[in-house]
Amino acid sequence: MNSPDEIRSSRQQRARRRGETRRLDRPWCLPMRCAMVRPVHLPLRHVSPDIHDGHRVRRAPVQEPMPDPDRATRQRVRAERRRPLARASAGGAGTVASSRRQLVIIDLQRRLAEIGRIRIGQQVASGSGKKRPVKLDTFRLTSADKSRIDAAAHLYGGTPAEWDAPAGRQWEVVTEADAIDVIVPPTDMAFSRWYELWSAGGCQRRCDGRTETISDGPCVCDPDNRDCDIHTRLSVMLRDIPGLGVWRVDSSGWYAAIELQGAVEVVQMAAGRGQMLPARLRLEQRMIKRAGETRRFAVPVLDIEVSPGQLMSAGQPPALGAGGVSQLGEASQPRQLDGAAPLTPVPESVPERPTPSVAEQAAAVDQEPEKPRRKNAAQPVPSTGLAPRTAEQVAQDEQEAASDGEPMITPAQGKKLATIFSKAEITERNDRLAISSQLISRPLGSSKELTQQEASQLIDMLDDLRQQDDFTTLARELIEADRADRDQPAKPESDPEVSA
């Protein structure tokens, strides 16, 4: 039997040859029982901390117990949880800081602060002391920041004044400009269009025609007769006004809703290519005539200062010179962006079967396919060979038919007159007849005595008078003049005695 020193020496030699040596920290004597243990060559992580005498020796092997499955599962789960932290720690402090910078709240919308409003009308006092809305020919800017209103007045004209707004004290200026230079931010922050129903308590409904967002349910309005009105909101940045923020213009008109949407889509298309298009916001005055009535209204229009050719060829917008003025002369030729596809030239030969236009394809959808005719079907009406009449011929026939007796006022014209008088707060029937008699220069006993031509002229004149600030005074003067004409006493007959 070998001595403990011999056993220890042989183990040291074998450990040196395998490179599996380790200095132990617990020096005490090797017991005699270790001499009876047969050495087993295992890696160092599988050996037990055995005793030694201060030299570098191989530890004695031990038999490890079988692991508990539940405990192993818990250890594996803990290891999986520590892996992301370990990878971040391995990358250093820069990697951890970079990972922290990428942690953002993804379910919050982004927007710019609203610093003012762009308005197209204002409230004026009527003769009864109440306020009524009046449209403007130029833009009106309002803001809670007086410095921005002063800058707008210096740039666009007008006199700044304090405004008692429903939300609190603000400042306003009625500018002298009907067009201002703007910049349109990204579309998700710039444009919205909803069907909304408002009351004194706030917004009661807001839907897109299918889903009502406030109650998170289906739209409750009748598509043919909606209770809600269209509300369009466009937020822009005034190009020459200092500061970071947007100015919002609101409109409840039909034309603004459909036209602003198209303009914003063009701006969004350019923004997808990394372009910021210079735009111009204009206030356009329009007039329509329908069913014998005339309506005048203002529409905000968004226009871009880039030609269609530049948009198609991915051209850069005109550069802004000093003072924000675009150098259109230098940008007359469109410049192509790097990596943009060139324009495809028109082929010399047109295919035999050209593709129908978009309008023709849309019309074909509405047309029902022609059904096969039955054998016993009626014959089609043969052509008469007569050319269709022109619009002038139709108008001439109508004039000849009306020459026998001029047509009287229509129900639609009567409703329009009643609406105009109601909005002007003229409710007395005699007052309405007095004003109508003075405007058409003949006495009236009833509105049914008006002809269609007289009713149309009366509607136009009343619309023009309502645009004036002193409409109430003018209406009162017309009523007094009609009363004077009706109450004028007849000339007294001469006294026969005096004549004699």
Position with higher pLDDT, 471 vs 125 = 125
For residues 492 and 489, give the distance between their C-alpha atoms in angstroms, rounded to a whole number.
Answer: 9
For residues 261 and 268, give the distance between their C-alpha atoms in angstroms, rounded to a whole number.
Answer: 10
Residues linked to residue 285 through DSSP beta bridges, in sequence order: 298
Q: Does the pLDDT value for residue 236 go beyond 60?
A: yes
What integer is the mean pLDDT of 221-246?
A: 88
Long-range CB contacts (< 8 A, 24+ apart) of 247-251? 247/114, 247/115, 247/116, 247/117, 247/118, 247/141, 247/143, 247/182, 248/114, 248/116, 248/117, 248/118, 249/117, 249/118, 249/119, 249/120, 249/281, 249/300, 250/117, 250/119, 251/120, 251/299, 251/300
For residues 47 and 11, give the distance between their C-alpha atoms in angstroms, rounded to a whole number.
Answer: 14
- Helices then strands (H, E): number in the chain? 14, 13
Q: Does the pLDDT value for residue 59 go beyond 80?
A: no
Q: Does the pLDDT value for residue 85 go beyond 70?
A: no
CB neighbour class for 384 (10 Å; exposed up to 12, middle 13-18, buried from 19): exposed
Provide the pLDDT for residue 49. Answer: 47
For residues 430 and 436, give the distance between their C-alpha atoms in angstroms, rounded to a whole number.
Answer: 10
Confidence category of residue 147, pLDDT binned at 50, 70, 90: very high
Provide the pLDDT for residue 171. Answer: 92
Of 58-67, 100-109, 342-351, 405-414, highest mean pLDDT:
405-414
- Cβ pair 447, 432 in contact under 8 A: yes
Longest dimension (CA), the chain: 184
Per-residue pLDDT reduced to its tens digit, 466-499: 777 667 777 777 878 777 776 665 444 444 333 3
Least confident of 139-153, 228-242, 323-337: 323-337
Long-range CB contacts (< 8 A, 24+ apart) of 163-168? 168/144
Q: Does the pLDDT value for residue 139 go beyond 50?
A: yes
Q: Does the pLDDT value for residue 155 go beyond 80?
A: yes
Position with higher pLDDT, 430 vs 308 = 430
Q: Are strands 161-165 and 179-183 parallel, antiparallel or unpaired?
A: unpaired
Position with higher pLDDT, 458 vs 150 = 150
What integer is the mean pLDDT of 224-247?
A: 88
What integer is the mean pLDDT of 176-188?
A: 83
* DSSP H or E run through 499: helix 496-499
Q: How far is CA 295 from the centre of its chain?
A: 26
Per-residue pLDDT reduced to its tens digit, 11-24: 777 777 665 544 44
Q: Does the pLDDT value for residue 306 go beyond 60?
A: yes
Q: Does the pLDDT value for residue 229 go beyond 80?
A: yes
Of 31-45, 134-148, 331-345, highest mean pLDDT:
134-148
Three-point CA angle 194, 198, 204, nearest 5°: 80
Buried b (16+ CB within 10 A) or exposed e, 124-134: eebeeeeeeee
Please name which of 87, 93, 90, 9 lies closest in space to residue 52, comparing C-alpha atoms: 9
Structure tokens belonging to residue 366:
């509405």
* DSSP H or E run through 133: strand 131-143
Per-residue pLDDT reduced to its tens digit, 426-456: 888 888 888 888 887 778 778 777 887 888 8
Confidence category of residue 333, pLDDT binned at 50, 70, 90: very low
pTM recorded for the entire structure = 0.44
Provide the pLDDT for residue 487. Answer: 65
Distances (CA, A) of 18 to 43, 50, 119: 10, 19, 89
Q: Does the pLDDT value for residue 26 go beyond 60?
A: no
